[in-house]
């Protein structure tokens, strides 16, 4: 399912109210005389009459989206195109970007994580909670109705009636329908609904951001596991080579061409290389444990495959969104905007709380002497009450709550601006890394080849007795560093590609992570 990132699936504040919220029709007293509440038609009629009184204004500021930067590019200087990874300017992101690496293992595990990770499920339920809170608040647009049916068995005292003995027993029956409605004169409820809608939007984009990070972390962990496995194999190969060199040094020592110090030094070098394998194995085991957690399984039951850098194909093309699109694509920016919308609505709520509230309550009932006489002529009774409640003195509580809401709004504005700036910085940093990765890989390939030739030549010359052992030791150290650096440079190309997909928003608008939004009662009641 494809969704335009500029439009949120969750209704945000600032949206116009439904057509029935703008009418200023007056509620007639006869509207309280509802006798057929069992039918859906009667419920719709009562709802329509009640909500028709809502005026069309609300106190407090209306939300206005702040201006955002629209630079011509992300980086300070124009970036050159990579030789083997083209940067497709203005291209859209695939919602399943991890498939670009053409690794069945990586694709299967990332998609399993998005289905089975418990943290993602928790975020999904938090979103549903916020949506239900919004629907609950929308219920205040309708009048509240309650029904009451009672039977009282009573005996009066004969002495009170002026004769001896027990008085007569009798029953009293009562049936009553109560209606209560608070007029949203100042838009208190509308601002609260706007605040709840923004909170739900925030939870939605937090969910999208969590899904983005889960996909990125899972892919990066798999790539890191492959790199660690390559480093372990390289170190084990170096251990074997150094064991052969130790045998050569010992032979040279027996011939008098090497000293005891040379033998001890090579033994120390071998032990150091062997020691390097242990922490790499520990890191690999911990990384695989982390992958197990991402896919929602304990390590003993994860059944993860082995990973190799050869499993991945570097994406030939990397999409780079236009800078003007970043604000609508980054979930963290959209979440910060939702918080700004919420703070705007909360200020309106705080202002409305300082103003008078008007409530209309009514009751319609029947009190006969027999159950079968309910609602018969002569047994009816009704009451209609208008109430105006206004705060007069609260010790400054309401005033300071309004000031606190105003400060929270300014804080949200600053946080939103900071989030936008940080997002642009993030994309610029990753783009620079992606472009520089090719040069770094080429340099490390050259260094590894040169170090391998140098070590081979040093070992040959040492066997012939033409160079000192120190030359061999230096070549060993250089080659070891070059091999590890080459593996890490190769892995960095994959992880930086993952980081770029994530920094540009992860393509959440081109996939469906959010479950369907629950429907409220108001929509079902209205025709």
For the chain, the structural domain boundaries read 19-144+186-229+277-355+397-525
**For position 12, what pLDDT does the model report?**
41
| Nearest to 114, CA basis, from 99, 102, 101 | 99
Helical residues (DSSP H) of 370-396, grouped into ranges: none
Tokens of 226: 């492959």
Please give the Cα distance from 487 to 485 (Å, whole number).
5
pLDDT, tens digit only, all 527 positions of the chain: 444 565 444 444 334 333 333 333 322 223 333 333 333 343 444 444 444 444 457 999 999 999 888 899 999 888 776 568 888 989 999 999 999 999 999 999 999 999 999 999 999 999 999 999 999 999 999 999 998 888 887 776 655 556 665 567 777 778 888 999 999 999 999 999 999 999 999 999 999 999 999 999 999 999 999 999 999 999 999 999 889 888 988 988 888 888 899 899 889 989 999 999 999 999 999 999 999 999 999 999 999 999 999 999 999 999 999 999 999 999 999 999 999 999 999 999 999 999 999 999 998 888 777 777 777 787 778 888 899 999 998 899 999 999 999 999 999 999 999 999 999 999 999 999 999 999 999 999 999 999 999 999 998 998 888 888 888 888 988 999 999 999 999 999 999 999 999 999 999 999 988 777 776 665 554 43
Q: How many other CB atoms are found less than 10 A from the CB of residue 317? A: 12
Greatest CA separation found in the chain? 139
Written as one string, the DSSP assignment of 27-64 is PPGGGG----TTSHHHHHHHHHHHHTT--S--SSPPP-
**For position 1, what pLDDT does the model report?**
44
Helix 331-352 and helix 397-463, axial crossing angle in degrees, nearest 10 = 170
- Beta-carbon-side half-sphere exposure of residue 508 (alpha carbons within 13 Å): 32
Place of tokens 């200023």: 24
Place of tokens 């980054």: 330
Phi, psi of 476 (to 5 degrees): -60, -50
Tokens of 32: 């309280």
| Nearest to 177, CA basis, from 3, 33, 321, 325 | 33
Q: Which residues pair with 149 in a beta bridge?
A: 175
**For position 42, what pLDDT does the model report?**
39
Tokens of 107: 């694709």
Residues 6+ apart with CB under 8 A from 105: 222, 305, 307, 311
Superfamily of domain 19-144+186-229+277-355+397-525: Outer membrane efflux proteins (OEP) (1.20.1600.10)
Q: Which long-range contacts link 464-471 to residues 24+ away (Cβ below 8 Å)?
A: 465/252, 465/257, 469/249, 469/258, 469/259, 469/262, 469/265, 469/266
Written as one string, the DSSP assignment of 144-164 is EEEEEEEEEEEEEEHHHHTSS
Does pTM surpass 0.85? no
Contact criterion met (CB below 8 Å) for 298 and 292: yes
**For position 308, what pLDDT does the model report?**
96
Please give the Cα distance from 201 to 9 (Å, whole number).
8
DSSP state of 98: G
**For position 82, what pLDDT does the model report?**
58
């Amino acid at each position: 399912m494809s969704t335009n990132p500029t439009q949120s699936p969750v209704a945000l504040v600032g949206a116009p109210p439904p057509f029935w919220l703008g009418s200023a029709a007056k509620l007639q007293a006869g509207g309280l005389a509802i006798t057929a509440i069992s039918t859906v038609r009667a419920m719709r009629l009562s709802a329509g009459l009640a909500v028709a009184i809502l005026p069309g204004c609300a106190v407090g500021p209306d939300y206005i989206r702040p201006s955002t930067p629209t630079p011509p590019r992300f980086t300070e200087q124009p970036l050159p195109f990579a030789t083997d990874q083209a940067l497709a300017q203005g291209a859209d992101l695939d919602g399943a970007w991890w498939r670009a690496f053409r690794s069945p293992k990586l694709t299967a595990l990332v998609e399993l994580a998005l289905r089975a990770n418990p943290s993602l499920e928790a975020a999904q339920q938090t979103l549903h909670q916020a949506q239900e809170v919004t629907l609950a608040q929308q219920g205040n647009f309708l009048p509240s109705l309650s029904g009451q049916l009672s039977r009282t068995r009573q005996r009066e005292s004969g002495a009170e009636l002026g004769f001896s003995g027990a008085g007569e027993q009798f029953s009293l029956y009562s049936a009553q329908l109560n209606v209560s409605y608070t007029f949203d004169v100042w838009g208190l409820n509308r601002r609260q609904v706007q605040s709840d809608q923004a909170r739900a939007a925030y939870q939605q984009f937090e969910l999208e951001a969590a899904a983005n990070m889960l996909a990125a972390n899972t892919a990066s962990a798999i790539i890191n596991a492959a790199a660690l496995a390559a480093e372990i194999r390289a170190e084990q190969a170096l251990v074997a080579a150094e064991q052969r060199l130790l045998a050569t040094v010992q032979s040279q020592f027996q011939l008098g061409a090497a000293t005891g110090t040379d033998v001890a030094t090579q033994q120390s070098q071998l032990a150091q290389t062997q020691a390097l394998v242990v922490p790499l194995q520990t890191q690999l085991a911990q990384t695989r444990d982390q992958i197990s957690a991402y896919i929602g399984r304990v390590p003993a039951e994860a059944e993860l495959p082995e990973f190799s850098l050869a499993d991945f194909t570097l994406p030939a093309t990397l999409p780079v969104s236009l800078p003007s699109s970043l604000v609508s694509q980054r979930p963290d920016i959209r979440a910060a905007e939702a918080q700004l919308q919420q703070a705007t609505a909360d200020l309106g709520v705080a202002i409305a709380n300082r103003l008078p509230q008007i409530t209309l309550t009514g009751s319609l009932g029947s009190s006969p002497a027999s159950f079968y006489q309910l609602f018969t002529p002569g047994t009816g009774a009704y009451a209609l009450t208008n109430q105006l409640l206004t705060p007069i003195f609260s010790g400054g509580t309401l005033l300071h709550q309004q000031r606190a809401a105003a400060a929270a709004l300014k804080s949200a504005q600053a946080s939103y601006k900071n989030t936008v700036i940080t997002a642009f910085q993030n994309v610029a940093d990753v783009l620079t890394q992606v472009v520089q990765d090719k040069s770094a890989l080429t340099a490390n390939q050259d260094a590894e080849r040169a170090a391998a030739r140098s070590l081979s030549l040093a070992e040959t010359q040492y066997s012939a007795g033409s160079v000192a052992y120190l030359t061999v030791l230096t070549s060993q150290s250089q080659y070891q560093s070059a091999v590890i650096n080459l593996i890490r440079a190769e892995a960095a190309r994959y992880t930086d590609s993952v980081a770029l997909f994530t920094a540009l928003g992860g393509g959440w608008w081109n996939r469906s992570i959010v479950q369907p939004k629950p429907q409220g009662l108001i929509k079902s009641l209205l025709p």
